[in-house]
Each structure stands twice: as structure tokens, then as C-alpha cells.
Amino acid sequence: MNTRNVPINIVRDAGFGGDKLALINGDARAALLPSVVAVGQLRGAQLSTGLKRGRRAAQPLQVQFDVYQYLAGPNVHQHARPIERLDFSRLGDGPEQQALFYGNLWQLLGAGKHSINLLVALPVEVLRDAKLTASIRAKLRAQMVGRHQFTVNGETLTVIINQVKTMAQPLGSFFNWGMDNTGRWNKKSSPHALHAIADIGFNTVDLFVV
């Protein structure tokens, strides 16, 4: 639980393959959740089809808000039909994005009350389209800024999101490579030198120069 008055700064990369969250609050922490969501409930015990017989398969997270229950994360297909969206508009709206985000927040922060600032990483292809970028930013802020209350696996979270900003996804790779956990540059090359970044994702390949 975040008991400080100062909000926690969290970065989100809502990838097509996985929803990723990271924060630095003393120690760096990160959470990853497969980007698979469905409306429904668990069907009961599911056994893994892997080599280790009798070992239970990882269960999806049960995320509930607005009277609906969603399954998010691993092995959703074993319990319900996943919602399939590969358009860029999915980055800015839709309850499936909320379900992924809520489930991953629970993994990162745990139950309780939290105050956060959110930085959302977007594909370069989105940022190159000024109209699409403006639309996604507006939808993100309309959906995210404010108070959120939801449950994950029966545990309640109350989250206040104070502000939402966006950046290019490859910048996250650049900062992760060049900076330590205190935000200081730790490479021999100058941060002002020319750097090229290739960010290979599930549905996009971003090339970026800083």
C-alpha cells in the first residue's frame, strides 16, 4: 500500500503480446501480464498439458469492475473466448485494456489504496500520426485520470491516477539501457550523442533515433 502523500510514478507499455508496468520506489519493480482478456469466470481446476503431469496450469486473474468480471493473463482461452483486437485504437479505450491494467497493477502494487502518476509508452507508428495520437491521448486521460476501484482475485484496490502522459516505446529501452535505478546516466558515451534504437515488439518494430 502506498501510504505516502507523494504519488508513485509508473510506466506502462500496453503491448500486443504483454502488458508491462514498471516503477522505481526505492527498488525497481516490474510486472508483466499476457495481453489476453475475456469476459467470464473460471471453469474450475485446469490441468497443465505440459511434461509435468499433475501440475496445475497458471490461472487467469479474475478482475471485476462495473459489475462485470473479466479474466486476464495466462490461459484465458481455457476458460472463455478471448477478446481479439489488434487495432491501435485499443491502446486508448475499451474495458479489456482496463482489465489488463487493473490486473497488472494488482501484481505490481498489491491490494489497498494507491496514488500514482502514469506514463504510457506508445508505438512510434502511432506517434507519427498526429490525429491518432491526439485521439488516443484524449481517450487515455478521459478513461484513466481519476479514482478507480476494482477487485482482482477477490482483493480490493482503490487507485487515484493524478495525471497521464505518453512517450515513444523505444525511449523506454533507451533509458533502461543508459540509466541506473536512480535516474543517473551510467554509460561511457554521452546521453547527448546520437543513438539508434530498434524496439522489436509483438506487433510492431520501432526504429528510433535520439
Above pLDDT 90, what percent of the chain?
Answer: 36
CATH of the domain at 87: 3.30.420.40
| Res 205: pLDDT | 67
Residue 199 lies in a domain: no
Average pLDDT, the chain: 81
Residue 153 lies in a domain: yes
Residue 95 lies in a domain: yes
Residue 149 binned pLDDT confidence (cut-offs 50, 70, 90): very high
Residue 209 lies in a domain: no
Q: How many residues does the chain have?
A: 210
Query: Which segment of 14-18, 76-80, 137-141, 158-162 scores lowest on mean pLDDT?
Result: 14-18
pTM: predicted TM-score of the whole model, two decimal places: 0.78
Residue 72 lies in a domain: yes
Residue 176 lies in a domain: no
* Alpha-carbon distances, residue 155 vs 71, 98, 110 (angstroms): 15, 16, 8
**Pairing, β 8-14 against β 27-34:** unpaired
Identify the residue with better confidence: 206 or 33: 33
Please state, in angstroms and rounded to a whole number, the distance separating the CA atoms of residues 34 and 37: 9
Overall average pLDDT of the 26-36 stretch: 86
Hey, what's the torsion of the CAs at 109, 111, 115, 119, to 10 degrees?
Answer: 40
Number of domains in the chain: 1
Residue 157 lies in a domain: yes
Residue 178 lies in a domain: no
Residue 99 binned pLDDT confidence (cut-offs 50, 70, 90): very high
Domain that holds residue 155: 8-41+58-168
